[in-house]
């Protein structure tokens, strides 16, 4: 499966220097002088090149990548077919601005997105450059189309860091601290998180309780339906901790939206593009968004955001919303190649390898004193660490230590939420790489448990 890695780099990690190596140290020092300190680096990986699921750093150390550039590199690093599409397009046209001129491949991609997104109705596509911009477009469109002003988002959600999306985002205080006031008319409701239900009810009651709170408290006392433009939801909370809600929660949100003429905006920025074994995570619950937001994996690493809406909603006039770079031809060419690969093989591979990993991880809560819960769909898997299985006290320092220990063993991971390890590899991994990653993660976990 992972041919590029197999032929060019080998497909397993190999460390040659103590970490960070001398070249990495040099870059990290310069970075500290010149780059915004708002970035969150868990460990000093200084990447030089990547092939498949392998990243090589500036000292020649090779890492197995289970972070994929924050769930972006779905086709692996530098997939030959994606690179070829980029090269070919780069020789033809780098930029024209699809907002002021017509561009054929932007139409081709929009037509393809129409076909692979839920809902058998005409849709329209708005192009931007990132996840946060895809959300901004959705917010503006929802207000414009409904004439209503309010939005409902969920505690723990992450939708981006520009002012509109940040007004929804509530996954970490540091993302908001010092930046208010935010967009008015945004209200937050509890998200169904059965392992630690925000309403304190047992797991099987969590989804109905959260839906009841939304319907009978938020919509009755804070944001009346006739003022509510949209409910904005991640079908799996990403940055918030890879929280997988029961299907009935998402289905309930859709029912509430339909009942009150509220738009259902589904943020598939992290969970979409085949990561969960289907095109969209919301498909597992069978929901149909009015507006769907996509970014991250869509172009295998080139910047592209897409907001796909029911055609009858996207009726704003020329000039109402646009972006100079949105739908850049090279990014669109990468997206078309990415979609072809996902369709032909990677969606199935994500499902197969995801099932395999989840099966192998199933007994970790019983075998490991720090593992509280393992959850996920496809190759979007969270391992939540706790200090105490009964009280479920979160283990953030231990989580960070596990991620650091994994790095020292050649495995790239990221955290999500305060105390969860996220597994978000490229969708091209094979079983040997899955086994290798679990071996290294378990080794790191055991080391931290010994010290815990
Ligand atoms: C669900 C979700 N929405 C939106 C965003 C924002 O995307 P970007 O960082 O491209 O602006 C992210 C980024 O992590 C995300 O996970």
Q: For residue 452, report the distance from its CA to the centre of ligand 1, in Å.
A: 33
Q: Tell which atom from ligand 1 comes closest to the C-alpha of 133.
A: 11
Q: Tell me the best of 154, 276, 295 to mutate to test the pocket of ligand 1, counting ligand atoms within 8 Å of each CB and taking the most.
A: 295
Ligand 1 centroid, distance to 295 Cα (angstroms):
7
Residue among 130, 132, 302 to mutate when testing ligand 1 (max atoms within 8 A of CB) = 132
What separation in Å is there between the alpha carbon of 307 and the centre of ligand 1?
13
- The β-bridge partners of 305 are 128
pLDDT at 183: 97
Contact (CB, 8 A) for 243 and 194: no
Check if 239 has its Cβ closer than 6 Å to any atom of ligand 1. yes
Q: Which residues of the chain have pLDDT under 70?
A: 1-9, 452
E strands, 349-413, in order: 371-377, 380-385, 411-412
Question: Which residues, at least 6 apart from 224, have a Cβ–Cβ distance to it below 8 Å?
Answer: none
Domains of the chain: 82-341 (3.40.640.10)
Residues 282 and 11: their CA atoms lie apart, in Å, by: 32
Task: For a ligand 1 pocket test, name from 270, 276, 281, 416 the mutation site with the most ligand atoms within 8 angstroms of its C-beta.
Answer: 270
State how far the Cα of 304 lies from the Cα of 330, in Å rounded to an integer. Answer: 10
- 415: phi then psi, degrees, rounded to nearest 5: -90, 170
Ligand 1 atom nearest 239 alpha carbon: 16
The region that residue 242 occupies, defined by phi over 0 for left and psi between -120 and 50 for alpha, beta otherwise, is left
Q: What is the pLDDT of residues 368-404, one digit of tens each?
A: 999 999 999 999 999 999 999 999 999 999 999 999 9
3-state secondary structure (DSSP) of residue 193 = coil
Structure tokens at 27: 């870059």
Q: What is the pLDDT of residues 71-84, one digit of tens each?
A: 999 999 999 999 99
CB 405 within 8 A of CB 395: no
Beta carbon of 400 within 6 Å of any ligand 1 atom: no
Q: HSE-up of 100 (CA within 13 Å, CB side)?
A: 6
pLDDT of residue 10: 86
444 CA → ligand 1 middle, Å: 28
pLDDT tens track for 212-254:
999 999 999 999 999 999 999 999 999 999 999 999 999 999 9
Indicate the burial class of 393 (C-beta count within 10 angstroms; 0-12, 13-18, 19 or more).
exposed
Ligand 1 site, residue 234, Cβ cutoff 6 A: yes
Q: Which of 272, 278, 332, 276 is nearest to 296 (CA)?
A: 272
* Closest atom of ligand 1 relative to the 234 alpha carbon: 1
pLDDT for 167 equals: 98
Q: Is the CB of 241 under 6 A from ligand 1?
A: no
């Amino acid at each position: 499966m992972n041919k590029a890695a197999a032929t060019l780099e080998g497909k397993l990690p190999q460390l040659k220097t103590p970490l960070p190596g001398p070249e990495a140290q040099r870059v990290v020092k310069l970075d500290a002088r010149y780059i915004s300190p708002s970035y969150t680096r868990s460990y000093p990986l200084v990447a030089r090149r990547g092939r498949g699921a392998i990243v090589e750093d500036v000292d020649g150390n090779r890492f197995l990548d289970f972070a994929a550039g924050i769930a972006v590199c779905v086709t692996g690093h530098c997939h030959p077919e994606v690179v070829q599409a980029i090269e070919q397009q780069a020789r033809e046209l780098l930029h024209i601005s699809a907002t002021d001129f017509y561009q054929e491949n932007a139409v081709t991609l929009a037509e393809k997105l129409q076909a692979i997104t839920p809902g058998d109705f005409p849709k329209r596509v708005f192009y931007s450059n990132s996840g946060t911009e895809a959300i901004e477009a959705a917010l503006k469109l929802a207000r414009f189309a409904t004439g209503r002003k309010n939005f409902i988002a969920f505690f723990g959600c992450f939708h981006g860091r520009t002012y509109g999306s940040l007004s929804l985002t509530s996954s970490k205080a540091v993302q908001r601290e010092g930046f208010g006031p935010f967009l008015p008319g945004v209200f937050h409701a509890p998200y169904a998180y059965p392992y630690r239900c925000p309403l304190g009810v047992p797991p099987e009651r969590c989804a109905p309780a959260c839906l009841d709170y939304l319907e009978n408290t938020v919509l009755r006392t804070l944001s009346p339906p006739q003022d509510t433009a949209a409910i904005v939801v991640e079908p799996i909370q990403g940055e918030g901790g890879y929280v997988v809600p029961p299907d009935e929660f998402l289905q309930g949100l859709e029912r509430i939206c339909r009942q009150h003429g509220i738009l259902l905006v589904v943020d598939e920025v992290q969970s979409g593009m085949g990561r969960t074994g289907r095109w969209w995570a919301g498909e597992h619950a069978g929901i149909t968004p009015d507006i769907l937001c996509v970014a991250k994996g869509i172009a295998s690493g080139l910047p592209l955001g897409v907001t796909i809406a029911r055609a009858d909603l996207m009726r704003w006039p020329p000039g109402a919303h646009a972006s100079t770079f949105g739908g850049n031809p090279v990014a669109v060419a990468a997206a078309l190649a990415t979609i072809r690969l996902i369709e032909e093989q990677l969606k199935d591979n994500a499902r197969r390898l995801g099932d395999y990993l989840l099966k192998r991880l199933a007994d970790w809560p019983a075998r490991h004193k720090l593992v509280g819960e393992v959850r996920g769909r496809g190759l979007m898997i969270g391992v939540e660490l706790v200090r105490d299985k009964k009280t479920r006290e979160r283990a953030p320092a231990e989580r960070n230590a596990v991620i650091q220990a994994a790095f020292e063993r050649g495995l790239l991971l990221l955290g999500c939420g305060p105390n969860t390890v996220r597994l978000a590899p490229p969708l091209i991994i094979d079983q040997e790489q899955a086994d290798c990653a679990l071996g290294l993660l378990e080794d790191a976990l055991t080391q931290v448990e010994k010290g815990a």
